[in-house]
Amino acid sequence: MFIVDLECCNGHQFEGWYDDRAEYEQIRADGDLTCPLCETDDVRRRLTTGAAKTSKTREKQERYNEIPDHEYEFVGKSFADRAIAMVEGREAPAPIAGLINDEDTERLKEKGVRHFPMGVVDTGPDPEDIH
């Protein structure tokens, strides 16, 4: 697994996950590297301190990567609200993925909602608001 920190020209920061460096380089060379928030292809690699991932974190990432996209619903910025509603019994439990910011992370923690951040940093508008 090759994980790289990226940033687009609009300041959106996110991680790219690839099987290996060669796959990343090929996608970049083909011009298919785009921001998941605004879809621009003006993306560059961010300099990082190279934080080590624990084996437990790697295991969670690998399990998540094995879930086919059709087995969960992408709920965008409503992730925190939906997850809290599920924990509180106001909504039926379901597999979801979405976007959260620091405030959402704190709310989820306060409510005892277990979640696993997957690397996209929400620094801009919801993709639906752009088009």
* pLDDT, mean of each 10-residue run, the chain (131 residues): 83 85 86 89 71 58 58 83 92 86 89 72 47 43
- CA pair distance 25, 11, nearest whole angstrom: 21
Output the pLDDT for position 91.
Answer: 93
Output the pLDDT for position 62.
Answer: 61
Under 8 Å between Cβ of 86 and 92:
yes
Collect all residues with Cβ–Cβ distance below 8 Å to 108 and sequence separation of at least 6: 80, 83, 84, 100, 115
For the entire predicted model, the pTM comes to 0.45
Output the pLDDT for position 46.
Answer: 76
Output the pLDDT for position 80.
Answer: 92
